[in-house]
Chain A
Amino acid sequence: GAGVSQTPSNKVTEKGKYVELRCDPISGHTALYWYRQSLGQGPEFLIYFQGTGAADDSGLPNDRFFAVRPEGSVSTLKIQRTERGDSAVYLCASSLSGGGRDTQYFGPGTRLTVL
Chain B
Amino acid sequence: QQQVKQSPQSLIVQKGGISIINCAYENTAFDYFPWYQQFPGKGPALLIAIRPDVSEKKEGRFTISFNKSAKQFSLHIMDSQPGDSATYFCAASAVNSNYQLIWGAGTKLIIKP
A-side interface residues, number (CB < 8 Å):
27
Give A107 to B104 CA distance when docked, in angstroms: 19
B100:A45 contact, CB within 8 angstroms: yes
Chain A residues at the B interface, C-beta cutoff of 8 Å: 4, 31, 33, 40-45, 48, 55-56, 91, 93, 95, 98-109
A106:B45 contact, CB within 8 angstroms: yes
B-side interface residues, number (CB < 8 Å):
26
Partner of B105, one of A40, A95, A107, A108: A40
A42:B99 contact, CB within 8 angstroms: no
Report if B1 contacts A (CB, 8 A).
no
B85 to chain A, nearest CB (A): 16
Give A104 to B106 CA distance when docked, in angstroms: 17
Return chain B residues, CB-CB under 8 Å to A43: 44, 89, 101, 103
Report if B83 contacts A (CB, 8 A).
no
Return chain A residues, CB-CB under 8 Å to B32: 100-101
Give A88 to B104 CA distance when docked, in angstroms: 17
Give A109 to B91 CA distance when docked, in angstroms: 19
Question: A-facing mask of B1-38, CB < 8 A → 1, else 0?
Answer: 00000100000000000000000000000011010000
Partner of A4, one of B43, B97, B98, B101: B43
Asked whether A100 and B45 contact (CB < 8 A) given A41-B106, A42-B105, the answer is: no
A56:B100 contact, CB within 8 angstroms: yes
